[in-house]
Structure 1
């Protein structure tokens, strides 16, 4: 799951471009002023380098205060330093020095008491953790690999995790009484008492920040790559144990939810509500005990870490399940179910210390944090529910995920999201924020402009998180076509009215003359594309879904579906053909039907809701150059319309809108991916049943046309986005360095922008393929209107795009999905012969013309086996029926049989290059495709002989 990053906008210092004068000139001349500026800049650079080295030296200073100051200063500088200066710091072994500071604390032993470590050592370690955390979140992924190579995991796992687990009960308990020396006391005894009190106070004041820093580092490491994940698995018990201790019902202040109650809530009943009397007694008891609680921001970090650690990591699942042979429900799963099925956050704790009160969020932010916590609990439980396990606790989890209460956690967020309204509100409050005011309590109030903007950012981040989990949920095969068909309502399959919505004529696809307009991504960017940096998406063309993956996860990862979860609303969901067959249900069945109806009502509008979230707003896909570099450069209000990357100073957007813009861009991408997974599941379910999945024709047409436009906008943006050249007036040695830095920053920006556009095109291609599979099946009628420009757009722009040409899983996915869609477009009812011939010749051109071309490596028409196999399948499907109206004119008279027969040897040679030992499943599919190709050629020869 992608981390939400907030990068501060930095500004490179301007350097005079003129060289030093050859002869003395007046001090008022431009050349003299330029030379003076260069000297000043050189002195500033030397002084800055000296100060940096002093900070690094102070990390090892004998005085504790110096170490704390150095670590805290570096933690702040990491977020604000320009890239070149940050690289200079890293080159001086910054990471190694910070990791060294983590080991100053002693690992606990069984005989260790509960005495906190010295205040200076603990503060130094916490500030060092904060610096490493900021590096992990805001820097490229190779920084995490460097941290791992320098053995960051050793102090985290052997020192900090055990210490946090040891001191967590003390942090939740009432504050201890101050230590007082026995009288009469010596100066040494009084000093020891003061040190002990200071250590307790530092621990209590900094414990939650300490915990969050450790969790965030573990979270980043777990998401980075499988090599690091394997190292984390060796400490799985400690990681899962700390996360679950922080998420415990008692620690958070929510009602405990047992295994039996889980069964009840899974049936839609939810959690039992205590009587008022019992609740008052419990509140009075808590008031008396004055027990603190885990802050919600720490609980969210724990849930994020747990979800990242167990995602696609079966070895970690065992630590959440009950032991083999146990008849008790897993306490960890019970805790996660309690979080998922508790709608409201716990009330404020009875008492907090001053340090804890400072971390307490406002009611609004607490509600957002609780929603995030429930979404993450859904994601964790979904990871456990995958597969075919028949354990009792896993079955209980599956039942809970079927319930409307659980589904509403995701679907409710998607249905209630109003991005345009959020953008309008953000523009309004951004102009009301006093950028020159110093930060203080007034600025963070929920009703202040800054507080309102922060709330909008939290809502967008929560929606992003929900869409990521929703994509995984849809990829797991939970909702099937029956669930959506039953929710379509009367007339959903009426093809006579499918194109008459509101008197508008369906134009049927993509138009080459359409301006990019509101969907133009030519000036788009998303600063901080963390998911692409961490490896992007895992695309498995065996099922066509998109899953988030770690950096080096292979493309052919585990694609086992939740086959035993036949339908979201229950296994008995019908397909809409027998709505009145069960008139004599008993009361319990009626209750179950009521819950099923509620679930279907949530699912019915999901496609259009996801489509609405995928449409860019005026703050979406903006580059960093579109934001004001300083508050004084920002306009009073943000401009309307989509901002270009070449925006002038008058078009700059306030810099405080950058985090929201980043989240909105990610929301659009994740919504498109969820839409892709949804239509893949629907089309696959219909194919498995041997009939088309009935969909609302207006909905299908709207999604088809809109997604094609999104892809057009992304491709247009990819062609028009270029790196700005460095300023011409920059000269000299220092100026060349700044120019190089600027050029490199621009290249990195373009790379991030292109990665995000690639995600849109890849997911959009999957949506288009799913739409044509659902709407153009020739055996069940062609209900989808396809415009004349759709096929040329897919062939000439999508398949031929630089995105599709990339030798990556994402590039391969675009090609495979485009070929799959073309196979359906070319054989739809009433397809023009010219369009069919264009598709047929294009598919045929992807097959290697001879064995020699494959052996010598000169054939690049189908560069990967998956693309070759899809081209074969689509071509065979296109001409499998010799009775089609286009068969004689296109296939027979066009000489395609002879060309296809000539390509058999080349296809056979290409398939033989697939290693059967390394890729057994792919080789098996390839051998089957070759058999089909040979049989098809012989079949078409027989047709010619008969005629």
Structure 2
């Protein structure tokens, strides 16, 4: 339980990837759902043609056929298109190699981890290893003497470099085994060269290098050390991060957007490297305050997701009236970058949305470094676990800057910037018409859907961490501003209402939003304990969510949120409904808890906290409902559940420790209430 951290095996989707689990599995179903089945076999055959023109055509055709078409991609996978394309990376014709790399890049982006893992298993690293020194040598020649090669030759090399870098970036996110293999390529100097000569190279290629470096320096010691120990690398990253927005004005829209994204990525890399050791000038800076926040906070307010959605819908409507572009023609080799104005504008919008996502991801990391209340704290003589508070948005009138913390120690570093990000975060958690795929159908524009859903999730994770810090170091002024808490509570429920509750194949991102957002609600409940009036429908939804989700973390969050609602002194009826539900989660003589050990511990702890003070108005429910007998009857079942916790499993030792505390607290609580005689 606790703050959202970046985890390599739980990172965001690759740039254009959206769930396609709504599609049936198997080649037969892929064939029936693809409109391009008849084109597959000729493409695979032409890959092996003795004519290099046909081989090039086939490589380009793969990119064109899979464009926003997961059914055709799956069908191509079934024909071993990955293995065939990797073979073409050793082709005797340079143009075939370039187009094969482009097709593999697009497969990485479209297919996500599954295809990346297949590429790694089929040893794509071997040809990539040979390309890196060749690219470096050629780029060095172009940079030193730009006139030594015609413009079209330079363009091919830049695009080829972009393709190779993007494949390496995607592989780095696939698995630790793949990451270790990429580490063996010693890419840092190679990637940093693109950043160092950013003014002489295409910004798209430089941005891809920065993205790859961002991923490689994410909790990856070899890469971090390689960058940290080079003062020139640090100075370059600082210069990119500190690039003023005014310096980007006047550029073409796509370049201006990529430049902004590049600045954000530089911030992310620097944060991955922190703390930066001397003698670097960055060692004396407050990296978060002096460098990162001045870039990240404006970034998350730079684009309205509602306006971006409206613009995409207009472009899609315009596209519907345009003649289709012939992406793959048997008569000639099409250009893989041949795109309409509408498609280029859609890409520009996605670039803006991805910049917001990157900024949110870094902000989430900043909030994750704040104090985490893992340790138990004393409260009225009882041990109370300050469990995972989730984020909540705050009212702009909340004085988070000046109010002294009610706990000892320094004010959490988030307190100075929380007011500036809460309003944007409230807007960024609200879904739009393109945020999630329609039920049982693909998205009208998968790249936009992927970017929007990632933004909503990242904004919720950022809120989660921010409000967890408030719960750890509460301030009197924030706790007193109940209107702000209610406003944020309502905003989260609006977002959940727009997200919808129906799950199923293809709707995994909706369920992910619920899993994070319910934690946000818990955070609100902790910061404004007992002050949010429970609503019958919301209580019912939380109980249904707890019953329907198998994930113990989500169940714990639901129980924690219900606990906070049950402590409202004016809601005696809601208290009874919630308590009855929590009691139903306890073990009985007939069997163990129906929700598992970790949610059981949270339910027991919640009941103890709710009824710790017999003077509260709703304690009448405890006395008249026979709750004491139910709790006493659950002690033996709780003992068995705690004893059954395997310390050897991940997190088992900590869970066992907490379980023993909850068990002891329950025994003491039952004894205390019996002594009261009420």
State which of 231, 234, 259 in structure 2 corresponds to 1:330: 231
Q: Distance in 2 between matches of 1:936 and 1:393?
A: 57
2:581 aligned to which of 833, 842, 848: 842
**Counterpart in 1 of 2:667?**
934
In the superposition, the TM-score normalised over structure 2's length comes to 0.80
Q: Offset at 1:926?
A: 2.3
SS at match of 1:129: helix
The residue correspondences of 1:525-924 to structure 2 (distance < 5 A) are: 543=388, 575-576=402-403, 603-623=418-438, 659-686=447-474, 693-694=478-479, 696-718=481-503, 750-753=504-507, 755-776=508-529, 782=531, 784-795=532-543, 797-800=544-547, 802=548, 805-806=549-550, 811-832=551-572, 834-850=573-589, 853=591, 859-863=592-596, 865-887=597-619, 889-918=620-649, 919-924=652-657
Q: Distance in 1 between matches of 2:527 and 2:232?
A: 43
CA–CA separation in structure 2 for the residues paired with 1:427 and 1:76? 22
Structure 1: runs of 5 or more not aligned: 13-40, 105-119, 179-199, 254-292, 323-328, 349-360, 481-540, 547-572, 579-595, 628-644, 646-654, 719-749, 854-858
CA distance in 2, matches of 1:468, 1:694: 27
| 1:275-424 to 2 correspondences below 5 Å | 293-322=200-229, 330-344=231-245, 363-385=252-274, 391-392=277-278, 396=282, 399-403=285-289, 406-424=292-310
Q: Distance between the aligned counterparts of 1:602 and 1:479, measured in 2?
A: 18
How far, CA to CA, are the matches of 1:623 and 1:878 in structure 2? Answer: 41
Shift of 1:692: 7.5
Q: Structure 1 residues 872 and 624, CA, compared in 2 at 3 Å: closer, same or farther?
A: closer
Mapped to 2, the partners of 1:923 and 1:91 lie a distance apart of 46
User: Whole-Å Cα distance in 2 between the matches of residues 340 and 798 of structure 1?
Assistant: 42
Judged with a 3 Å threshold, the aligned counterparts in structure 2 of structure 1 residues 390 and 139 are, in CA distance, closer, same or farther, namely: closer
**Cα distance change of structure 1 residues 428 and 880 upon mapping to structure 2, 3 Å threshold:** same
Deviation, structure 1 residue 913: 1.9
Distance in 1 between residues matched to 2:536 and 2:528, nearest whole Å: 17
User: Could you tell me how far 1:575 is from its partner in structure 2?
Assistant: 3.8
Cα 1:48/1:345, change in 2 over 3 Å: same
- Contact persistence 1:869–1:926 (CA under 8 A): yes
1:753-812 Cα deviation digits (max 9, x unpaired): 2x11112211220111111111125xxxx3x444344333322x3323x3xx23xxxx32
1:815 Cα deviation after fit: 1.1
Shift of 1:472: 2.6
Provide the residue aligned with 1:216 in structure 2: 166
Name the SS for the 1:676 alignment partner: helix
CA distance in 2, matches of 1:451, 1:362: 16
Matches within 5 A, 1:10-25: none
Q: Do the aligned partners of 2:566 and 2:578 also contact (CA within 8 Å) in 1?
A: yes
1:82 Cα deviation after fit: 6.5
Rg: which structure is higher?
1
| Cα distance, 1:222 vs structure 2 | 1.6
Alpha carbons 1:345, 1:367 under 8 Å: kept: no
Report the aligned-residue RMSD: 4.0
SS of equivalent residue, structure 1 residue 307: helix
State yes or no: 1:56 paired with 2:47.
yes
In 2, are the aligned partners of 1:129 and 1:214 still within 8 Å (CA)?
A: yes
Q: Which residue of 1 aligns with 2:198?
A: 252
Q: Are 1:768 and 1:821, in contact at CA under 8 Å, matched by a contact in 2? A: yes
- Equivalent-residue separation in structure 1 for 2:481 and 2:157 (angstroms): 54
Q: 2: distance between equivalents of 1:82 and 1:774?
A: 44
Tell me which residue corresponds to 1:4.
15
**In the aligned structure 2, how far is the partner of 1:915 from the partner of 1:395?**
48
In the TM superposition, what is the alpha-carbon distance from 1:201 to its structure 2 partner? 8.2
Kindly indicate whether the alpha-carbon contact (under 8 Å) linking 1:445 and 1:451 is maintained by their aligned counterparts in 2.
no
User: Structure 1: how far apart are the matches of 2:653 and 2:284?
Assistant: 32
> Which residue of 2 is the match for residue 37 of structure 1?
none
Deviates more, 1:697-706 or 1:47-56: 47-56
Shift of 1:48: 4.3
SS at match of 1:247: helix
Structure 2 counterpart SS, 1:707: helix
Q: Distance in 2 between matches of 1:226 and 1:4?
A: 20
CA offsets 1:559-580 (integer angstroms, 9 cap, x no match): xxxxxxxxxxxxxx964359xx
Matched with 2:330 is none
Structure 1 CA distance, aligned partners of 2:513 and 2:55? 46
**Any idea what the Cα deviations from partners look like across 1:855-888, whole Å, max 9, x if unmatched?**
xxxx35122x33222222212111222232332x
Matched, 1:139 2:32: no
- Deviation, 1:226, is 2.8
The Cα offsets for residues 347-378 of structure 1, whole Å up to 9 and x where unpaired, read as 89xxxxxxxxxxxx961111100111111112
SS at match of 2:535: coil
Question: 1:474–1:674: 8 Å Cα contact kept in structure 2?
Answer: yes
* Aligned residue number for residue 112 of structure 1: none
Residue 230 in 1 paired to residue 180 in 2? yes
Q: Within 1, Cα distance between the matches of 2:312 and 2:61?
A: 32
1:436 partnered with 2:323: yes
Are 1:243 and 2:191 counterparts? yes
CA contact (8 A) 1:362 1:446 kept: no
Q: Which residue of 2 aligns with 1:71?
A: 59
Contact kept in structure 1, 2:499 and 2:510, CA below 8 Å: yes
- Give, in whole Å, the separation in 1 of the partners of 2:513 and 2:103: 34
Separation in 1 of the partners of 2:36 and 2:448?
34
Q: 1:136 and 1:446 mapped to 2: Cα distance?
A: 20
1:315–1:692 distance in 2 versus 1, CA, 3 Å: farther
Alpha-carbon distance in structure 1 between the residues aligned to 2:469 and 2:584: 30
Separation of aligned partners in 2, 1:790 and 1:698: 18
Alignment of 1:501-512 (within 5 A): none
Alpha-carbon distance in structure 2 between the residues aligned to 1:81 and 1:897:
59
Q: Does the 8 A contact of 2:390 with 2:468 survive in 1?
A: yes
* Equivalent residues of 2:518, 2:554 under 8 A apart: yes
Residue 752 to residue 392, structure 1, CA distance change in 2 (3 Å): farther
Whole-angstrom distance in 1 between the partners of 2:14 and 2:37: 36
Unaligned runs of 5+ in 2: 1-11, 24-31, 328-336, 374-385, 392-399, 406-411
TM-score relative to the length of structure 1? 0.59
Shift of residue 658 of structure 1?
5.6
CA offsets per residue over residues 494-533 of structure 1, 9 Å max, x none?
xxxxxxxxxxxxxxxxxxxxxxxxxxxxxxxxxxxxxxxx
Is residue 94 from structure 1 mapped to residue 81 from structure 2 by the alignment?
yes
Would the alpha carbon gap of residues 6 and 883 (structure 1) be closer, same or farther in structure 2, given more than 3 Å must change? closer
* Counterpart residue number, 1:264: none
Between Structure 1 and Structure 2, which shows a larger proportion of helix residues? 2
Q: How far off is 1:941 after superposition?
A: 3.0
Distance 1:698 1:394, change over 3 A: farther
1:8 and 1:876 mapped to 2: Cα distance?
Answer: 41
Aligned residue for 2:6?
none
The whole-number CA distance in structure 2 between the counterparts of 1:930 and 1:319 is: 49
